[in-house]
A and B are shown apart, each in its own frame.
Chain A
Amino acid sequence: MTDQLFLALEAPGHGTHPHELRALATEAEQAGFTLVTFADSPVPSSPAASSIEAGTRAAFVSTTTNRIGLAPELHVTTTEPFHLATQLASLDHASNGRGAWVIGAANGTTNLATIGASPLDAKSWHREITDVIDVVRDLWDSWQDDAVIRDVTTGRYLDPSRVHHVDFQGARFSVKGPLITPRPPQGQLVVIAPEHLDVADRAEVVLVKGTDGPALGARATAARTAGAALVFAEVTAGFHESEADAPKRPEAGRLHHQGSAAALVDLLSSLTDTVNGVRLHPADAQRDTPILLETVAPALARAGRLRAPTPGATVRSTLGLPRPTNRFAAAATTAA
């Protein structure tokens, strides 16, 4: 643990015009945020809310930014795992290594009805989550980094021994592979898992909740014990002058800051011993996002508490995570 934090920002999910989305990503990057996350679900939480699919939003800002990580929430339960792996690998290529994946696992009746299916029981649901993560990771490795050889003398564009069938067999589906997309620049995208999915052993970053510092500390310890490399705290931030003015229902169990920007800076500074980073959810997107970008992040930086990415960085390099060895290349080396 250092005395600095990584910052992630949850982008507003609806009512965003394309130019506003682009401006938000650029401003968050300039403010030193490591990640912008894009929450999503097949069915929006509020019936009247329109929402743009998260993977397309992340990709849309990939060519107008150069160091901020882009982390869409894609759901394992309402998609094809093969498409999901391709979409995320493509995001990593389009952003030159700035792709990350917030695992979503929508399981309500209305969400599953979008694919004509029914919710899964708890055990099948958890198995589905781990199966999809596992096959996605296999598919990201299905092309070795040196698969494309462009050997003009033999006319061979690629070396077929370096592109692999994955032959994945899950509980509810199987996938042959390889991916149609070459290995992502980061090798493996950074996988971000909310704590309640119970997949810390398969993720690089776990998002934990707690209503105060000690509660967050306990959850962070539990996540690390379960295998998480890095832990980020979920924090809702509102800067309303009075409680009456504040949004009605802060998300249950999550640390909710209500007060001045300076007080939030103090609160975040106090978390550097507990977590590696914080994901900030503006309580009111219109009103609170500019304060996070223009006041809170610069103040943290001045206090020496902010770890910001540098131009050309990948999410992995910013977070200090190594680029993983390819599982198929490793297997070939072992066998040789």
Chain B
Amino acid sequence: MSEPTVPNQFDPTAQVHLGVFYTGVGPQLIWTEPTTRPHVAIETFVEVAQLLERGFFDAFFLGEGLRVRENRGQIYDLDVAGRPDAITQLSALAGATERIGLVATQNTTYNFPADLARRLASLDYLSDGRAGWNIVTTDNAWTGENFRHGGWLDHERRYERAEQFVEAAKALWTAHPGDTVHRESDLVTLTAPATVPASRQGRPVLFQAGDSAGGRELAARHADVVFSANTEYTKALAYAQDLRARLARHGRSADSLRILPGAFVVLGDTPAQAQEKADWVRGEQVSGPRAIAFLEHYWGQDLSAYDPDGPLPDIAPTEGELDPSRGTISIDRRTGKLDQIRQWRELSEQKGLSIRELVLEVQPAHSLFVGTPAQIADEWTHYVRTRAVDGFNLLPHLIPSSLTDVVDTLVPALQERGSYRTEYTGTTLREHLNLPAVPAP
């Protein structure tokens, strides 16, 4: 990967595109705050989607987690949990909204290609061209225990399966209803007719998040939008340039792929007030019980007797590596836990850190934008005009108030700078994202 530090493009007309990644699980949503609505209630989903439509957002995203997270064999109890099936929920929201894009995260490992392609096309048709599919893969057998073919796919082959899966889905979407698509390999076998008429946008918009070389290649070949973990400006720019080089190799134009990294936003009337809020948010997200649970995952045993504001546990961790039951650990972090713990001991002794302080230190807040609406609007306008990103995917910490703040204060600040739409100019998600039309079959 190249390491550019200066932009090589400037587009004074570039626009910020915004989406929201609605919380399904995890510590980021502060459920202890009484103003946070029950995140599973349909009324909350409708309220949020309609709020985002008022702010002319491109898209509303739902994540996926096909097994409820656990801590040492028991259901993990400290974070919000419980979520709907994404396509079902977005179909319900399609009936309650008019413009916003509706994006479902769906897995290529634990779905049947023809079934998933049909459900996505149905959402696209019912929403009149507002559907998107965020393509993800799973490799762990722990999640597979909920499915007919648990743990069948080797880690190395998950993108191979994803590639064939997406290609088959595209074939089904571009075939005329009644035409049959046939595929046969050791990873994808189906004979299925196209059944759903094409929507106004041709087919669902494809999103992809993988940051590995395999993920980037899948994105460069198939994706219309990438989520990226590269939010920091220099990294974002390098990522964008790498991806555009890959696009060119696949004969695609630089404007045929939009880049939307994740972003946590904390707004305040003054910089100091925003920072104060951000500190509060961080403190809530890394609560004492969560800090203990974080260490329990590594120690492999009950640490509830330890004080989160006291020193690290003096006992030795159990044998064996990390299990994937928290659902978030990437494969390269599932080994070397003893080394990890040794480093943490040294760090906490050096700096005199308590358990909670250590966890705050080793889990740094990332993708974080803290400031006044004017500050963040300036920063984001610079990001898009220098083509480091095309916008952001917001991760709310309070529902709905952290999003209400964005719609009511940050959106107008962006509009003043000419970098955000003042009304929807299209009706489909593809049009919102200003992506080239899908060629007619």
List the B side residues contacting A60 at CB < 8 Å: 91-92, 94-95, 126
* Cβ contacts A55-70/B at 8 Å (1 or 0 each): 1110111111000000
A/B interface sample: 28 pairs, CB < 8 A: A42-B115, A43-B192, A49-B177, A50-B196, A52-B122, A52-B125, A53-B119, A55-B88, A57-B122, A59-B91, A59-B95, A60-B92, A61-B95, A63-B96, A64-B95, A80-B111, A80-B147, A87-B88, A94-B42, A94-B84, A110-B191, A114-B115, A116-B184, A148-B82, A155-B32, A155-B78, A181-B40, A181-B82
Complex formed: what's the CA distance from A51 to B196 in Å? 6
Are B80 and A80 in touch, CB under 8 angstroms? no
Q: A94-B42, A114-B191, A143-B82 are in contact. Are A56 and B112 (CB under 8 A)?
A: no
Q: How far is the CB of A209 from chain B (nearest CB, A)?
A: 26
**A152 proximal to B (CB < 8 A):** yes
Q: How far is the CB of B355 from chain A (nearest CB, A)?
A: 14
Q: A53-B122, A53-B196, A59-B91 are in contact. Are A47 and B178 (CB under 8 A)?
A: yes
**B221 proximal to A (CB < 8 A):** no
Q: How far is the CB of B116 from chain A (nearest CB, A)?
A: 9
Are A158 and B126 in touch, CB under 8 angstroms? no
Are B145 and A160 in touch, CB under 8 angstroms? no
Q: A63-B96, A154-B289 are in contact. Are A114 and B112 (CB under 8 A)?
A: yes
Residues 58-81 of B at the A interface (beta carbon under 8 Å): 65-68, 74-81
Are A160 and B82 in touch, CB under 8 angstroms? no
Complex formed: what's the CA distance from A116 to B168 in Å? 13
Residues 75-106 of B at the A interface (beta carbon under 8 Å): 75-85, 87-89, 91-96
Are A155 and B287 in touch, CB under 8 angstroms? yes
List the B side residues contacting A47 at CB < 8 Å: 178, 193
Chain B interface: which size bin? 35 or more
Complex formed: what's the CA distance from A162 to B78 in Å? 14
Q: What is the number of residues of chain A that contact chain B, defined by CB distance less than 8 Å?
A: 65
List the B side residues contacting A93 at CB < 8 Å: 40-42, 84
**B46 proximal to A (CB < 8 A):** yes
Are A157 and B85 in touch, CB under 8 angstroms? no
Residues 5-41 of B at the A interface (beta carbon under 8 Å): 31-32, 40-41
**B421 proximal to A (CB < 8 A):** no
**A107 proximal to B (CB < 8 A):** no
Complex formed: what's the CA distance from A53 to B40 in Å? 24
Select from chain B the residue with minimum beta-carbon distance to A54: B122
* Cβ contacts A219-262/B at 8 Å (1 or 0 each): 00000000000000000000000000000000000000000000
Q: How far is the CB of B189 from chain A (nearest CB, A)?
A: 3
Q: How far is the CB of B32 from chain A (nearest CB, A)?
A: 5
**A159 proximal to B (CB < 8 A):** yes
List the A side residues contacting B112 at CB < 8 Å: 78-80, 114-115
Select from chain B the residue with minimum beta-carbon distance to A113: B191
Are B191 and A63 in touch, CB under 8 angstroms? no
